Amino acid sequence: MIPSRFYISAVLLLAANAVPAEPETGLPAPQLDSGYNQMYNLEFDAAHRTFGEWQRLHPDDSMGPVSDAAAYLFAEFDRLHILQSEFFVHDSNFTHARKLAPDPVVRQAFDRELAASEQLENKTLAQAPADKNALFAMVLTRGLRADYDALIEKRNLASLREIKDGRTVAEKLLAIDPAYYDAYLAIGVENYMLSLKPAPVRWLLQMGGAQTDATRGIEKLRLTAEKGRYLRPYARLLLAVAALRDKDRNRAREILQELARDFPRNRLYAEELSHLL
């Protein structure tokens, strides 16, 4: 069985510290930025209100419902203690197939928002196949579903299909706009995480169309960490995890200090940082 950490995708694909291109619609999106900041500060109710208001004002924008879905999933991860870096660093956390106990009400809301986003994505892309906003929302949709499948339900094969589909859409988006830096995370996650598998497993994954190049993965994660918008903090967290796996505690400490400074109400960053002091 393939450990579920390898399919962590652009879920917590969140935050607002950089300045990429605005959505394809031409609408400025400071309200979305605010919602992602609230989510990264673990203020989930506030994030839901912010994303709900965005949907009310922009009912045709698929980024509204997919962002709200991310808030539901991130809150569930927090409740189930999935977000701590130790969960990602130690392989022993992924050797058991025990399913967690998801909240059925949250699952229903999560599925509802993803379905709403997919409907808007498909509608927009049917009329404008190169719409960057809709393509990015599709990357997020695939990533969120992959995360739920892998980290909560332990459905790793289903998660792998979603992450590969998300990476394919990300590559399409980047062919249109190489400066859409958030999209690089989907490529980086797949390559780096799968590169950690033993050689025979990597070969099987490659035969199935997966990408497993560690160097390429870190390179793409750094692009998002340096220049991304909604996904920048998640990319930084993954780089901290990579540093911990490489026994580079100084680099991990540096990244976590930056995250704790940028999101002071997120207790997780401070807790993880305390382990390194």
Look at residue 210 and tell me whether its pLDDT is greater than 70: no
Look at residue 22 and tell me whether its pLDDT is greater than 50: no
Of 16, 32, 12, nearest in space to 74 by CA: 12
User: How much is the CA Rg of the chain, to the nearest whole Å?
Assistant: 17
Determine the pLDDT at residue 120. 98
pLDDT tens-place string over residues 120-132: 999 999 999 999 9
Q: Are 15 and 231 in contact (CB under 8 A)?
A: yes
Q: Is pTM, for the whole model, over 0.85? A: no
Give the C-alpha separation, 186 to 110, whole Å.
20
Per the listing, tokens 């025979």 go with 200
pLDDT tens-place string over residues 227-236: 988 888 888 9
Q: What is the mean pLDDT of the chain?
A: 80
Q: Would you list the DSSP string of 74-119?
A: HHHHHHTT--SHHHHH-GGGGS--------HHHHHHHHHHHHHHHH
Answer CATH for 25-274 from 2.130.10.10, 1.25.40.10, 3.40.50.150, 1.10.533.10: 1.25.40.10
Give the C-alpha separation, 69 to 80, whole Å.
17
Q: Would you list the DSSP string of 221-246?
A: HHHHHHH-SSSHHHHHHHHHHHHHHT
CB-based burial of residue 12 (10 Å sphere; 0-12 exposed, 13-18 middle, 19+ buried)?
buried
Q: What letter would DSSP give residue 12? A: S
Task: Pick from 50-54, 193-197, 258-262 the range whose average pLDDT is largest.
Answer: 50-54
Q: Are 51 and 67 in contact (CB under 8 A)?
A: yes
Averaged pLDDT, 167-194: 86
Write out the two tokens for 239: 């780089």
Q: Where are the domains of the chain?
A: 25-274
Give CA separation, 142 vs 57, 96, 178, in Å.
Answer: 25, 24, 20
